[in-house]
Amino acid sequence: MKVLTRNIRPDRTPPTLAEYEATGGYQALRQALRDMTPQTVTDLVKQAGLRGRGGAGFATGMKWGFMPRFEQDDPARPPHIYLVANADEMEPGTFKDRLLMEGDPHQFIEALIVSSYAIGADICYVFIRGEYVESQRRLQRAIDEATEAGLLGDHILDTDFSLRIHLHMSAGRYICGEESALLSALEGKRAIPRSKPPFPAASGLFGRPTTVNNVETLCNVPHIVTNGADWYQNLGLHKDGGTKLFGASGQIEKPGLVELPMGVPLGELLDQYFGGVRGGKALKGLLPGGGSTLFLTGEHLDVPMDYEGVGAAGSRLGTGTMIVVDEDTPIVGVLRNLEHFYAQESCGWCTPCRDGLPWVEKLLLDLEQGRGQPGDIQNLVMHTKLLGPGMTFCAHAPGAMGPLESALKYFREELESLIPAGNGQALEESA
């Protein structure tokens, strides 16, 4: 069932405002402003079980519930309350949000307005990846159309609710996927994570209450408001409700995106919708949710693609965009390429990440080029612990260790075979 992609055309030409409204567009906004309080919208999203589609999978309604509530005339109300949409999409192998912004920009704009109403925000920023020039152009056109129609701006639909939406083109750093680093960048500062607490809901953008959500996450909100929590829950095949944009890249016959119910089996997704591994080759492994998730292999094809199912298999659903590796691809090259990216994207704030990731990349490069030494595998194992959860200021380095840790579990013999038999003896003689 198509929900998020119902208006997206094969050539990705976006619908105009009139075309979007003809398919039920902006009815959720009218319904929310006419019949629902902000708390009612938040409770509905909580009941629907919407979870963040940007990678972490945190409950959206619960996150909104952390925001302080103020009446319009409350003297304690801050000058501004913010909603920030993370449209940076820097996760390797991920390209789903771009489709939503380019293919149906009014859906996203309506989602921003309804979500801002729910949390009491009067200003919304969309933090867009700098390369997404076409996304920015189409979103700005949709913002202008919605403003002219009275759906955005002051006193929306003749109510007391007002909202401004601003587009901010990101300079592009992976660390901006961490919400507090994104807020620092949005303020014009160095993109480094902030200490928590305080959390953004208490002190976020410019020190004001702020919620940060992913593009795909937000695009679910109008459909939940229109159709209800039970409808949304029933879209999923298991515990997690709704549909999901699943993607595939790498050694796959039909790379791209497809919208399916949460919980579709991995093997069905891989074979029926993406055509299987390219050239009919066997599957070596895949990263199920972008470059920072852990490898799954052929033994996991029955795993349901939802948060619980992928988690039980030892990985994370992440962004739901698979990177597929075939049987003939050396795993060391895949790992070296990923770790090069993560080493390059480290903000440098803490020592394990700043110095550890380049060292991991060097070890993998030595293995790839035949310079591996006895002890290198053990050294890599050590780094997965020293750069793992709880050892760094944010989740950047632990995320980078995900594919490495799982590769050491599933492909250790292949990595060990890259160490030439005589290297240890040559090292001893030179010493």
For residue 5, name the pLDDT band (cuts at 50, 70, 90): very high
Mean pLDDT of the chain: 93
pLDDT computed for residue 426 by the predictor:
43
State the pLDDT at residue 422. 63
Of the two residues 69 and 45, the one the predictor is more confident about is 45
The pLDDT of residue 423 is 67
> Residue 146 corresponds to which amino acid?
A
Q: Is the predicted pLDDT of residue 429 greater than 60, yes or no? A: no
* Average pLDDT, integer, range 68-81: 84
**What is the pLDDT at residue 75?**
80
Question: Hey, is 311 helix, strand or coil?
Answer: helix
What local confidence, expressed as pLDDT, does residue 73 receive? Answer: 74
Largest CA distance in the chain: 84
Two tokens, residue 364 = 């993998």
Distant-in-sequence, close-in-space partners of 264: CB < 8 Å, separation ≥ 6: 237, 246, 304, 305
Mean pLDDT of 374-396: 93
In angstroms, rounded to a whole number, what is the distance separating the alpha carbons of residues 182 and 283?
36
**pTM (global) more than 0.85:** yes
Instruction: For the chain, report the end-to-end CA distance as a whole number of angstroms.
Output: 66
pLDDT higher than threshold 60 for residue 377: yes
Average pLDDT over residues 35-50: 96
**334, amino acid identity:** V
CA–CA separation, 188 and 411 (whole Å) = 43
The first and second tokens of residue 292, run together, are 């920072």
Q: What is the C-alpha separation between 419 and 400, in angstroms, rounded?
A: 23
Give percent of the chain above pLDDT 70.
98
Going along the chain from its start, the domains and CATH numbers come out as 17-233 (3.40.50.11540), 242-326 (3.10.20.600), 333-416 (1.20.1440.230)
Confidence band for 72, pLDDT divided at 50, 70 and 90: confident
pLDDT at 244: 96
What is the C-alpha separation between 21 and 19, in angstroms, rounded? Answer: 5
Query: Residue 48 — very low, low, confident or very high, per pLDDT cuts 50/70/90?
Result: very high
Q: CA angle 52-56-60, nearest 5°?
A: 30
- Name beta bridge partners: 392: none
C-alpha atoms less than 13 angstroms from C-alpha of 116 in its C-beta half-sphere: 29
What average pLDDT does the segment 64-86 reach?
Answer: 88
CB-CB contact of 39 with 69 (8 Å): yes
Q: At 428, is the pLDDT very low, low, confident or very high (cuts 50, 70, 90)?
A: very low
Say how far apart CA 243 and CA 248 lie, in whole Å: 16
Query: Which DSSP symbol is given to 156?
Result: G
- CA 283 – CA 251 distance, rounded (Å): 9
Q: What is the pLDDT of residue 424?
A: 55
Asked which of 14-18, 129-133, 378-382 is least confident by mean pLDDT, the reply is 129-133
Evaluate whether 4 touches 220 at the Cβ level (below 8 Å): yes
pLDDT of amino acid 17: 97
Residue 288, pLDDT > 50, answer yes
